Amino acid sequence: MRIRWLKIALATALAGLGSGQLYGQSPKAETIFVGNFLTLDPGHPQAEAMAVSAGRIIAIGSQASVESFATSSTKRIKIDGVALPGLADAHIHVEGVGEELERLNLRGLSKQQILDKVAASAKTAPSGSWITGGGWDQGFWHPAVFPTSKELDSVSGDHPVALSRIDGHSTWINSKILALAKITRSTPDPDGGRILRDAAGEPSGMLIDKAQDLLRAVIPKPTPADREPRIRLALQQFSEWGLTSVHDAGVGLETISIYKDLLNRGELPVRVYVMAAGEAARAYYLAHGPEPDLGSDMLAVRSFKLFLDGALGSRGAELTDPYTDAPQEHGLELMKDPDLERVVRAAREKGFQVNTHAIGDRAVRRALDAFQQGGVTANDRFRVEHASMVTNDDMPRFVSMGIIASIQPVFVGEYSRWAEDRVGPSRVHWVLRTRDLLNAGVLAAAGTDYPASDSGRALDNLYCAVTRKGADGKPPAGWYQDQRVDVDQALRMMTQGPAFAAFQEKNLGILSVGRYADFTVLSANPYQVPIDNLKTLTIQMTVVAGHATFDVNSKH
Instruction: Give, in order, the Cα–Cα distances in Å from 26 to each of 10, 22, 55, 298.
Output: 16, 8, 16, 26
**Is the CB of 311 or the CB of 487 nearer to Zn ion?**
311
**Is the CB of 99 or the CB of 449 nearer to Zn ion?**
449
The C-alpha atoms of residue 121 and residue 25 are separated, in whole angstroms, by 63
Q: How far is the CB of 360 from Zn ion (least distance, A)?
A: 15
**Is the CB of 195 or the CB of 445 nearer to Zn ion?**
445
Q: Does 95 bind Zn ion (CB under 5 A)?
A: no
Of the candidate spans 8-16, 241-249, 328-336, 412-420, the one that interacts with Zn ion by CB under 5 A turns out to be 241-249
Kindly tell me the number of DSSP H helices and DSSP E strands found in the chain: 19, 22
Of the candidate spans 293-301, 448-456, 528-536, 540-548, the one that interacts with Zn ion by CB under 5 A turns out to be 448-456
**Is the CB of 151 or the CB of 385 nearer to Zn ion?**
385
User: SS3 string of 194-214?
Assistant: EEEECCCCCEEEEEEECCHHH
Of the candidate spans 9-17, 156-164, 444-452, 488-496, the one that interacts with Zn ion by CB under 5 A turns out to be 444-452
122, 131, 206, 249: which one contacts Zn ion (CB under 5 A)? 249
Q: How far is the CB of 185 from Zn ion (least distance, A)?
A: 32
Cα 260 to chain centroid, rounded: 20
| Phi and psi torsions of 545, nearest 5° | 50, 40
Of the candidate spans 152-160, 234-242, 338-346, 443-451, the one that interacts with Zn ion by CB under 5 A turns out to be 443-451
**Is the CB of 246 or the CB of 249 nearer to Zn ion?**
249
The C-alpha atoms of residue 460 and residue 100 are separated, in whole angstroms, by 18
Q: How far is the CB of 305 from Zn ion (least distance, A)?
A: 8
95, 449, 454, 518: which one contacts Zn ion (CB under 5 A)? 449
The C-alpha atoms of residue 146 and residue 150 are separated, in whole angstroms, by 12
**Is the CB of 249 or the CB of 541 nearer to Zn ion?**
249
Q: How far is the CB of 307 from Zn ion (least distance, A)?
A: 9
**Is the CB of 81 or the CB of 409 nearer to Zn ion?**
409
Measured from the Cβ of residue 252, the count of other Cβ atoms closer than 10 Å reads 15
Q: How far is the CB of 100 from Zn ion (least distance, A)?
A: 13
Q: How far is the CB of 93 from Zn ion (least distance, A)?
A: 6
Of the candidate spans 110-118, 266-274, 304-312, 442-450, the one that interacts with Zn ion by CB under 5 A turns out to be 442-450
Residues 6 or more apart whose CB falls under 8 angstroms from that of 143 comprise none
What is the per-residue DSSP string for 267-281?
Answer: ---SEEEEEEESHHH
Q: How far is the CB of 280 from Zn ion (least distance, A)?
A: 19
309 contacts 357 by C-beta, under 8 angstroms: yes
Bridge partners, 444 (sequence order)? 405
Of the candidate spans 18-26, 104-112, 229-237, 445-453, the one that interacts with Zn ion by CB under 5 A turns out to be 445-453
Strand order in the sheet with 131-136: 104-105, 131-136, 161-165, 170-173, 203-209, 193-197
The C-alpha atoms of residue 189 and residue 223 are separated, in whole angstroms, by 29
Q: How far is the CB of 332 from Zn ion (least distance, A)?
A: 15
**Is the CB of 167 or the CB of 361 nearer to Zn ion?**
167
Q: How far is the CB of 48 from Zn ion (least distance, A)?
A: 39
**Is the CB of 452 or the CB of 548 nearer to Zn ion?**
452
Q: Where are the beta strands (DSSP E) in 295-397?
A: 299-307, 353-358, 383-386
Measured from the Cβ of residue 9, the count of other Cβ atoms closer than 10 Å reads 10
**Is the CB of 358 or the CB of 539 nearer to Zn ion?**
358
381 contacts 351 by C-beta, under 8 angstroms: no
- Nearest Cα to 374, choosing from 407, 403, 406, 417? 403
Query: Could you tell me how many residues of this chain bind Zn ion (CB under 5 A)?
Result: 2
With H, G, I as helix, E, B as strand and everything else as coil, classify residue 483.
Answer: helix
398 contacts 405 by C-beta, under 8 angstroms: yes
Q: How far is the CB of 91 from Zn ion (least distance, A)?
A: 6
**Is the CB of 66 or the CB of 249 nearer to Zn ion?**
249
Q: Which residues contact Zn ion by CB under 5 A?
A: 249, 449
